[in-house]
Amino acid sequence: MKIDLNCDLGESFGRYSLGMDEQVLAVITSANIACGFHAGDPEVMQKTVALAHKNQVAIGAHPGFPDLVGFGRRKMQLTPAAVQADIIYQLGALQAFCGGTPLHHVKPHGALYNMAADDLTLATAICNGIASVDPSTSLIGLANSNLIKAARQVGLPYAQEVFADRQYLPNGRLVPRNQPNAMIADEDIAVQRVLRMVKDHVVTAVDGSEVSIIPDTICVHGDGPKALAFVKRIHAALIENQVTVTAF
The two beta strands, 30-34 and 244-245, are unpaired
Tens of pLDDT, residue by residue over 226-243, are: 888 899 999 999 999 999
Q: Which residues of 196-219 are buried (b: 16+ CB within 10 A; e: fewer)?
A: ebbeeeebebeeeeebebebbbbb
The values of phi and psi at residue 202, to 5°, are: -150, 150
Query: 10 near 37, Cβ under 8 Å?
Result: no
Q: What is the pLDDT of residues 112-123, one digit of tens each?
A: 999 999 999 999
CA separation for the pair 83, 75 (Å, rounded):
13
Q: Residue 183: beta bridge partners? A: 166
163-220 pLDDT, tens digit each: 999 999 999 999 998 898 899 988 999 999 999 999 999 999 999 999 999 999 999 9
Query: How much is the pLDDT for 226?
Result: 80
Q: How confident is the model over 70-79, as a mean pLDDT?
A: 96
167 in Cβ contact with 183 (< 8 Å): yes
Q: Which residues of 24-52 are buried (b: 16+ CB within 10 A; e: fewer)?
A: bbebbbbbbbbbbbbbbbeebbebbbebb
Q: Residue 53: pLDDT above 70?
A: yes
- Is residue 8 predicted with pLDDT exceeding 70? yes
Q: Is 111 helix (H, G, I), strand (E, B) or coil?
A: helix
**Residue-level pLDDT at 224:** 66
Instruction: Name the percent of the chain lying above pLDDT 70.
Output: 99
Q: Which CATH number covers residue 207?
A: 3.20.20.370
Kindly state the DSSP code that residue 59 receives in the 8-state scheme.
E
Structural domain count of the chain: 1
Show the domain range for 87. 2-245
The mean per-residue pLDDT over the stretch 101-114 comes to 97
pLDDT digits (tens, 9 = 90+) for 214-230: 999 999 987 767 888 89
Sequence-distant (6+) residues with CB within 8 A of 96 are none
Please state, rounded to an integer, the average pLDDT across all residues of the chain. 96
CA angle, residues 153, 155, 159, in degrees to nearest 5: 95
Q: Average pLDDT for residues 79-89, to the nearest whole number?
A: 99
Q: Name the residue among 142, 88, 93 with its Cα closest to residue 119.
A: 142
* The amino acid at 83: V
pLDDT at 108 over 90: yes
Count CA atoms closer than 13 A to 162's CA, side-chain side: 27
**CB 29 within 8 Å of CB 4:** yes
Asked whether the predicted pLDDT for residue 76 surpasses 70, the reply is yes
In this structure, the number of other CB atoms found within 10 A of the CB of residue 131 comes to 18
> Quick check: 11 pLDDT over 80?
yes
Is the per-residue pLDDT at 144 higher than 70?
yes
Using the Cα atoms of residue 75, residue 80, residue 85 and residue 89 in order, give the sign of their dihedral: positive
